[in-house]
Every structure is written in C-alpha cells, then in structure tokens.
Amino acid sequence: MNHVRKGLFCILVTLILSSSIFTKYTTAADLFQDNFSSPSETTSKWTIVGSSIWQTVNGEFGVLIDSGVTNALPNDGYWNSTWENFVFTVDLKGLQGTDKNVLIKYKDENNFYEIHHSGGYIFLDKTVNGSGYSITPKVNYPLDNGTIYHWVISII
C-alpha cells in the first residue's frame, strides 16, 4: 500500500486488552498494555515499521508522516501475531490532517489489516503483497481533530 499521507497527526493510543473474549489459556494481564507514560518504556515495547519517527509526549504516542506508510506494533516479546480472539481498546486523537489508521492484524510490512480513516470515511483496509484495498464499504464517520475517540476492537 503506497497511500500518501500528509499532515501532522498524533495517535493517542492506550492499548488495553480485555479478557472477555480471550482463549481459555490467556488473560489480559498476560498479553499487553501500554499507557505511554514513559518514552523509554514505549521504545522498548514497540517496533516501528517504516521510516517515520514516532514519539511519546505527555502520554500520547504519535507520528508526523510527510508521505509513505509507517506502523507501530508491539515487539515480539510482548505480542504474538498468531493470537486470535482478543479485544483491544484504542484512544485515537488526530491533531491535523484527514488520514488516520489503526493497525489491527500484522504479518509483515507488505501484509496487514488496518482500520483506515480518510477524508471523513472509515473502512477496513487489507494490504496483500504491498497493495492495499478496502474490504468493507466506506462509511461516513467524521473524526474531528483534537477530539479523543475511544474504540473497542474485537479480533475473532
């Protein structure tokens, strides 16, 4: 996927996994959470894919993207990409621009799923071998910059 993303935006992501849908062998505390209270702790927990520089400032984790694709995902020591049947919450706040995304399933830089918001519309985007396309209808869903949106995302 080679979407061009311009503008400054910051993703306030508080990733807290819920135990309500986990497999019987996994609890939320065993998986992963981050409140981004410490830049050094965040650096040790997250892997950045792409050339952009993500930063932790005042409990918010964000990035400036001039163009290209970048993703932040939990390090392998905290996350396993084969996990299924889990719920996570995300607080998302854009500061500027119209393109905002939340990575929800990741295999590698060329193969992943994300919730994609662009130009006032939201949809599920799938990238396969570097080419991205919508796998759901685009729904009018404005995201006002400066407003925090609390999402609960179920992966089953």
SS3 state at 21: helix
In whole angstroms, what is the distance from residue 23 CA to residue 18 CA? 11
Domain coverage including residue 72: 8-97+143-155
Distance CA 40, CA 131 (A): 33
Residue 56 lies in a domain: yes
Q: Would you tell me how many other CB atoms lie within 10 Å of the CB of residue 27?
A: 11
Amino acid sitting at position 140: N
The answer to whether 86 and 140 have CB atoms below 8 angstroms apart is no
pLDDT of residue 142: 92
Token pair listed for 8: 């400054």
Digits of tens for pLDDT over the chain (156 positions)? 333 333 223 333 333 333 333 333 333 445 778 888 888 888 888 888 876 788 888 888 888 776 677 888 888 777 777 777 778 888 899 888 888 888 888 888 889 999 999 989 999 999 999 898 999 999 999 999 999 999 988 877
Would 17 be classed as within a structural domain? yes
- Is residue 129 assigned to a domain? no
The answer as to whether 20 is a domain residue is yes
**pTM of this prediction exceeds 0.75:** no
Neighbours of 152 (CB within 10 A): 11
Cβ(22)–Cβ(16) under 8 Å? no
Show Cβ contacts of residue 43 under 8 Å, excluding neighbours closer than 6 positions. 56
Overall number of domains in the chain: 1
Place of tokens 């992966």: 155
Tokens linked to 33? 């959470």
Quote the pLDDT of residue 30.
54
